[in-house]
Amino acid sequence: MTGDPGNLSCEEFQAQLAELVGSGEGPAAHPHVQSCERCRALLVDLETIAEAARQLFPSVEPPDEVWEQIESAIKQEGK
């Protein structure tokens, strides 16, 4: 792998992407992204998906019956 991050191929950059995204260092600032439209688009898509997950999947309240069944089962197990 080349020592100059700006000279990475798309394949080399994308191989590092999981670590870059997870590191919180902001892969958008990576020199390869500055010069590669395809990888820039990929990053935007992945960020859009992560953001959509946060917004579109709120936590859901279980119905009260679930607790009632848990209590009932606990009582049964305690007998």
Partner 1 sequence: MPNSSSPTQAPSRMRQNCGPEQKPAAPGFEAEILARAQTGDHQAFAQLYSVHKRRIYSLCLRMVGNVAEAEDLTQEAFLQLHRKIATFRGDSAFSTWLHRLAINVVLMQLRKKGLSLISLDEAMDPAPEDGPSRSFGAPDLKLSGAIDRLALEKAVGDLPAGYRLIFILHDVEGFEHNEIASMLDCSIGNSKSQLHKARLKLRDALRSQSRAEEQA
Q: In the numeric block, which tokens belong to residue 67?
A: 């607790």
Binding residue for partner 1, selected from 1, 6, 19, 31, defined by CB under 8 A: 19
Q: Which of residues 23-42 bind partner 1 (CB under 8 A)?
A: 38-39, 41-42
| 77 belongs to the binding site for partner 1 (CB under 8 A) | yes
CB-based burial of residue 8 (10 Å sphere; 0-12 exposed, 13-18 middle, 19+ buried)? buried
| 17 belongs to the binding site for partner 1 (CB under 8 A) | yes
The site for partner 1 (CB under 8 A) is made up of 9-11, 14, 17-19, 21-22, 38-39, 41-42, 44-46, 48-50, 52-54, 56-67, 69-71, 73-75, 77-79
